[in-house]
Chains A and B, each alone.
Chain A
Amino acid sequence: MQPHELSLTAAADAIRARQLSPVELADSVLERIAQAEPRLRAYVTVTAERTRTAARAAEHDIAAGRYLGPLHGIPMGVKDLIDVAGTATTASSRVRGDHSAQTDSTVAARLAEAGAVLLGKTHTHEFAYGLTTPQTHNAWDTGRVAGGSSGGSAVAVAAGMATFALGTDTGGSIRVPAALNGVVGLKPTYGLVPRHGVTSLSWSLDHVGPIARTVEDAALVLAALAGHDPRDPASLTTPATDYRPDAGTDLTGLRVGVPRTYYFDQVAPEVEAAVRRAIDQLQALGARLVEVEIPMTRYIQATQWGLMVPEATAYHEATLRAVPELYQGDVRVLLEAGELMPAGDYLRAQRSRTLMRQEWARMLTEVDVIAAPTVPATAVTAGQETITWADGTVEGVSDAYVRLSSPANITGVPSLSMPVGHDTAGLPIGMQLLGRPLQESVLLRVGHAYEQTQPVHDLAHAT
């Protein structure tokens, strides 16, 4: 096995045992980037010199006995919406053509303190306002979409071009590309991971979180990211936690909610079958399945749009007036049309969110986690705009991809997406586990238990 193929956990164990040097690992991942990047286009910028310098420093520090922990010497990609001092935060947009970040975002600073090594900045759908990331190609089939908006991060992790990566998630932007590329993505509880220094799409819906190859890997990254920062007004004062799940797979006593409504409506049969098989596996590990009724489903899309559209337009107010022609067409028209939304619609969405959070809180007293598909379909062909369901209903691709993930953004509950198989075309299928606020440890324990019953995943090798 080449170093770039190692999970974060395995690489960290090998580095700590001095069986692998951070320089060997970084060189292997950079070599993999050189090989795969021309086909996949996951990165806006690869900072190879900086990577090698940081890897040598990590090697030196570890040799001198200054081991910082499991992220020390681990190479990572950072979504190009997140500030890293000395690099541009382009948001994959021409609007940010002359950008240069002067300081680290909170998450970049925390990963640097933990000894992680930056590989570069990964592509996003422009300003995170979309679900496909058209610049980037799916890690399993270059003719398919990467998903978005953290498409570059998910593709890089899936293809061995980063050992882990950071993404952001406003309606599903970590979990959607994670699902479509067969990797793990965690959208933490709203406010658990500070967003200072992260370009906003929608303040009240934005989250930052890890994309990794295993649930255990995601837990290691989350431990480094979580914690209060007063510069993010939504930041929680939750005490630090060790999120690493233990090795046990016994889920006796755990109540797994299986949605009777919404999450299995208009879902591709192969996706539904794979997710239900995974739920059966949770039951085989001792979990008790409990049917749940998802509340207020008629108002999910309206609430998501009612919050996101005016907040995104507000963020872009100045540049939409100064340089509108520099935005891509799909993003520009949404930002412009957002100017026409009355405050009454925004307030109704905020009040609807209050009701929805109350209803979800009630539902989450009945179960410990909810298991559901992350996205209703696997990766569509690049350029495909709609999905036609079995009953003849036609749905926009972005609407379909965001449909099952946005409830966790509206309510702020944590959601962990993990791979649960492939369809007959060989494309990955994702399942999400949703839980109570700040119960990431429960999601990670359940996800890790499931993961241990499955064969280890190979890296994606797109053709």
Chain B
Amino acid sequence: MSAVELTPPEAARWAARAGLPLPADRHAAVAATAHHIHSVVAVLRELDFGDTPPAPAYRAEQEKPYAAA
């Protein structure tokens, strides 16, 4: 287990902090899935975002550059 991998009790504690009490029989499965998700999304930390804003919602037709078809 790596230093950043959540243990099942830690996963339960994080979930409880998020307002989701987990029964004991869920701790291991949730910890494993959370670890997998973390391993997938952690690669985004490599990107240099500079001043790039997030794009939570957008209007595709108002943006550039798109030449006329």
Contact = CB atoms under 8 A, between A and B. Distances in A.
A252 to B, nearest CB: 15
Interface string B8-26: 0001001100111010001
B54 A350 contact: yes
Given A336-B30, A412-B58, A437-B63, A351 B41 contact: no
Contact of B40 (A191, A305, A348): A305
Contacts of A341: 34, 37-38, 41
A346 to B, nearest CB: 8
16 contacts: A191-B60, A203-B57, A236-B60, A238-B61, A299-B44, A302-B42, A309-B37, A309-B41, A333-B29, A336-B30, A341-B34, A350-B56, A353-B55, A361-B63, A361-B66, A441-B69
A321 B55 contact: no
Nearest to B14: A340
Given A302-B44, A320-B20, A349-B44, A337 B54 contact: no
A82 to B, nearest CB: 21
B44 A321 contact: no
Interface residues of A, number: 52
A345 interface: yes
A348 B69 CA distance: 32
Contact of B52 (A189, A305, A338, A354): A354
A302 B57 contact: no
Interface stretch (A70-78, A97-105, A362-370, A425-433): A362-370
B61 A351 contact: no
Pairs A-B, 6 closest by C-beta atoms: A350-B54, A437-B60, A337-B33, A348-B44, A337-B34, A339-B18
Contacts of B37: 305, 309, 337-338, 340-341
Nearest to A368: B69
Interface of B: 6, 11, 14-15, 18-20, 22, 26, 29-30, 33-34, 36-38, 40-47, 49, 52-61, 63-67, 69
A189 B59 CA distance: 10
B67 A365 contact: yes
Contact of B64 (A189, A347, A361, A368): A361
A234 interface: yes
B44 A204 contact: no
Contact of A442 (B6, B15, B69): B69
A194 B20 CA distance: 32
A171 interface: no
A357 interface: yes
A110 to B, nearest CB: 20
A364 B66 contact: yes
A339 B16 CA distance: 9
A355 to B, nearest CB: 6
B41 A355 contact: no
A234 B40 contact: no
A361 B66 CA distance: 7
A364 B14 CA distance: 42
A326 interface: no
Contacts of A436: 66, 69
Contacts of A345: 38, 41-42, 44
Interface string A423-459: 0000000000001111101100000000000000000
Nearest to B22: A336
A204 B54 CA distance: 12
A190 interface: yes
A309 B6 CA distance: 18
Contacts of B42: 302, 345
A209 interface: no
A438 B61 CA distance: 7
B57 A234 contact: yes
A368 B49 CA distance: 28
Given A191-B59, A236-B59, A354 B65 contact: no
A350 B41 CA distance: 12
A361 B57 contact: no
B8 to A, nearest CB: 12
A236 B59 CA distance: 6
